Amino acid sequence: MIRRLLLVNGPNLNLLGTREPDIYGTATLADVEEIARRAAAAHGFDVRAVQSNHEGALLDAIHEAREDCAGIVINPGGLSHTSVVLRDALSGVALPVAEVHISDVRAREAFRHHSYVTDVALVHVVGEGVQGYATAVDRLIAVITGQADG
């Protein structure tokens, strides 16, 4: 069994720690990646992390995950609400997906209430702050290892 997850962070998440700290907190992208790595390591998994402000780079990383990852944890950022091609890439690789959002997108602007990723994700973690990444990793690994249903 492959014991690696792909962690995908979309546009603007490189600004974590400085961008709207009242919404996203003060943890950095490096902190988020470390949270995910620690959660995965507790289950004997490792994490390959990618962040880009360019949709195509994210699509390429998702496609490459077919070769050496057991699942994908993704915070698509604003692409959640706009990108059919991101949704199609996730669907197309046929890996289990966990969607995570730091803030509670359902309590924010109306345009944030819909995510194209939701219907292809087995795990959804919304509004838990950066600790939601650990929750998403734990739940996704439980699905991958057969300890939980998706």
The active-site residue out of 24, 43, 116, 124 is 24
**Per-residue DSSP letter, 102:** S
Residues in contact with 70: Cβ distance below 8 Å, sequence separation at least 6, in sequence order = 1, 2, 3, 4, 5, 45, 95, 96, 144
The active-site residue out of 43, 54, 63, 101 is 101
β-bridge partners, 73: 7, 98
Measure the CA angle with vertex 97, ends 141 and 140; round to 5°: 15
Provide the annotated binding site for substrate: 75, 81, 88, 102-103, 112
- Is residue 116 among the annotated active site residues? no
Provide the annotated binding site: 75, 81, 88, 102-103, 112
User: 92 — phi, psi (to 5°)?
Assistant: -70, -30
- Is residue 101 among the annotated active site residues? yes
So which residues are the catalytic ones? 24, 101
